Chains A and B, each alone.
Chain A
């Protein structure tokens, strides 16, 4: 069983479209995250949710909106896609928020290409 899963794995779309990426974790974790791997290969945090509550919201355009229907799911909606949104997006989860020794478990990534 995949611990953290993302769908789709690949997403090719036109500029201006609206798309969603889904993330599910079956680890029973309380906290989930979205990261973006940028062109320089940095992994940068976008959002973090703890028990469906938004905890971290980095400087991300308003076109990006996370939604957490329950603590096992954290979806990422992107409106009016732009060329610069092309990247690999990773979902992650951790057991709880705050423990110094807490480990984050990553999904396989979604490769988004905006044409």
Chain B
């Protein structure tokens, strides 16, 4: 059984704050790490797919880093906005035809 853990479970920040969350995954048999953004009543939307140790990806104010040797990824949001409010999911894959194993997500709420 693969354990993908995310912390914190929820987070409440003020507009303009910068924040970050953690995704922990098994460090063996790493293949890929995905980040998704999931707004209430909508579909999960892909943010990043990361495959190499040391990868850093950026999309606007959101960025992510990857450490496959120690089994963690960080997602950073700079200058949070109310529209960033969502659940952020990470998902882990061990191989070519393997499934995505999702964490339970970090629920972010950004208020004015």
Contact = CB atoms under 8 A, between A and B. Distances in A.
Given A45-B99, A56-B97, A97-B97, A107 B49 contact: no
A1 interface: no
Contacts, number: 51
B13 to A, nearest CB: 21
A43 B102 contact: yes
B104 A104 contact: no
Contact of B104 (A42, A56, A101): A42
Interface of A: 4, 40-45, 48, 55-56, 58, 90, 97-98, 100-109
Interface of B: 31-32, 34, 36, 42-46, 49, 51, 89, 91, 93, 96-97, 99-102, 104-105
29 contacts: A4-B43, A40-B104, A42-B102, A43-B102, A44-B102, A45-B100, A48-B99, A55-B97, A56-B97, A56-B99, A97-B96, A98-B96, A100-B31, A100-B32, A100-B49, A100-B51, A101-B32, A101-B51, A102-B32, A102-B49, A105-B43, A105-B46, A106-B36, A106-B43, A106-B45, A107-B43, A108-B42, A108-B43, A109-B43
